[in-house]
């Protein structure tokens, strides 16, 4: 989880139900960095660490109405988390007075969303909110940080097979290192039929080396851009599902510290 603001704003959904968790997958497919969190106490430390985040709260879960109000006030009054953009979502019809209380009095500036309405409409509202708040930042693609012991790649070049470990991956490409002596290639080299293995799932793509970081005391780092002609919807979804898992694991690990 990077605190670099150029990478956009982290988006947390607090106590989402199964329906909202499915929406989260779609938001990640739109290249937003989105996390599901089931710990409102631990979340506060993340809001302080990663300032200027966006938080959507399910106000039907865990706390009573006055407790949620106090929770929101505590976030927005803390100097280390006051930059958090907050939205709330509910499954029930709520009075106009309560809606206005959240929006006008408490300073909830990312919407009061009723999930009872059309799901597509709710999803579109949240997407527009994320766009309006520039949650994507300057980043075009969200990356999944790989486990190089199990997330790997291999390819054949000039008749020889080369194995490597993945460091990160997105639908745009990957960063990786060869586990043995790398092939004699330079930036610009086209690589055919790269076998990508993400937690056991395997698929094949062509790619082009766009940069090689030469390292004295470590394996050279290869940055490879995928060629779009073999990027099928199925492969795209598999990469995004992997990224969703990586983001969720990262959030859970941080909350356990």
Q: What is the CATH number of the domain that holds 25?
A: 3.40.50.2300
The predicted pLDDT at position 82 comes to 92
Query: Are residues 33 and 82 both part of a single domain?
Result: yes
Query: Are residues 182 and 136 both part of a single domain?
Result: no
Query: Are residues 85 and 129 both part of a single domain?
Result: yes
Query: Are residues 211 and 152 both part of a single domain?
Result: yes
Query: Are residues 53 and 111 both part of a single domain?
Result: yes
- Banded model confidence at residue 5, pLDDT cuts 50, 70, 90: low
The predicted pLDDT at position 229 comes to 93
Q: Is 86 inside a domain boundary?
A: yes
**pTM, entire model:** 0.89
Query: Are residues 36 and 121 both part of a single domain?
Result: yes
Q: Is 250 inside a domain boundary?
A: no
Q: Is 256 inside a domain boundary?
A: no
Residue 4 has pLDDT above 60, yes or no: no
Q: Is 251 inside a domain boundary?
A: no
Helix or strand or coil: residue 219?
Answer: coil
pLDDT digits (tens, 9 = 90+) for 137-150: 888 999 999 999 99
State the Cα angle at 42 between 36 and 48, rounded to 5°: 95
Q: Is 253 inside a domain boundary?
A: no
The predicted pLDDT at position 257 comes to 77
Mean pLDDT of the chain: 91
Query: Are residues 64 and 132 both part of a single domain?
Result: yes
Query: Are residues 230 and 115 both part of a single domain?
Result: no
Which has more confidence, 7 or 252? 252
Query: Are residues 107 and 56 both part of a single domain?
Result: yes
Helix or strand or coil: residue 236?
Answer: helix
Residue 113: beta bridge partners?
89
Beta strand 112-114 with 54-58: parallel, antiparallel or unpaired?
A: unpaired
Task: Using the 3D structure, point to which of 91, 115, 140 is the last residue of a domain.
Answer: 140
Query: Are residues 107 and 59 both part of a single domain?
Result: yes
Residue 16 has pLDDT above 70, yes or no: yes
Q: Is 220 inside a domain boundary?
A: yes
Which has more confidence, 26 or 2? 26
Residue 79 has pLDDT above 80, yes or no: yes
Task: Using the 3D structure, point to which of 140, 171, 202 is the last residue of a domain.
Answer: 140
Query: Are residues 115 and 169 both part of a single domain?
Result: no
Distances (CA, A) of 35 to 22, 57, 118, 218: 12, 12, 23, 33
Task: Using the 3D structure, point to which of 112, 140, 168 is the last residue of a domain.
Answer: 140
The predicted pLDDT at position 219 comes to 87
Tell me what the mean pLDDT of segment 153-166 comes to.
95
pLDDT digits (tens, 9 = 90+) for 88-120: 988 876 778 888 888 888 889 998 888 876 788
Total number of domains in the chain: 2
Q: Is 166 inside a domain boundary?
A: yes
- CATH number of domain containing 218: 2.40.10.220
* Domain extent for 60: 5-140
d(CA 159, CA 93): 65
Query: Are residues 60 and 157 both part of a single domain?
Result: no
d(CA 8, CA 80): 18
């Amino acid at each position: 989880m990077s605190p670099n603001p150029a990478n956009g704003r982290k988006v947390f959904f607090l106590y989402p139900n199964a329906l909202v968790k499915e929406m989260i997958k779609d938001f990640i497919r739109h290249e937003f960095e989105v996390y599901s969190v089931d710990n409102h106490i631990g979340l506060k430390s993340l809001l302080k660490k990663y300032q200027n985040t966006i938080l959507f709260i399910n106000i039907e879960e865990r706390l009573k109405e006055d407790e949620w109000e106090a929770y929101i006030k505590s976030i927005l009054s803390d100097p280390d988390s006051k930059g958090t953009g907050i939205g709330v979502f509910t499954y029930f019809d709520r009075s106009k007075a309560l809606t206005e209380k959240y929006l006008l009095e408490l300073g909830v500036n990312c919407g009061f969303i009723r999930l009872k309405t059309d799901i597509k409409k709710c999803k579109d509202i949240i997407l527009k909110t994320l766009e309006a708040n520039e949650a994507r930042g300057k980043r075009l693609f969200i990356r999944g940080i790989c486990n190089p012991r199990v997330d790997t790649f291999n390819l054949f070049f000039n008749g020889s097979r080369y194995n490597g470990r993945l460091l990160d991956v997105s639908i745009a490409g990957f960063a990786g290192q060869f586990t043995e002596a790398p092939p004699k290639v330079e930036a610009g080299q086209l690589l055919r039929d790269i076998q990508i293995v993400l937690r056991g799932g395997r698929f094949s793509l062509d790619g082009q080396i766009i940069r090689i970081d030469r390292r004295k005391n470590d394996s050279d780092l290869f940055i490879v851009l995928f060629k779009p002609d073999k990027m099928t919807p199925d492969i795209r979804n598999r990469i995004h599902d992997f990224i969703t898992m990586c983001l969720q694991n990262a959030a859970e690990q941080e909350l356990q510290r």
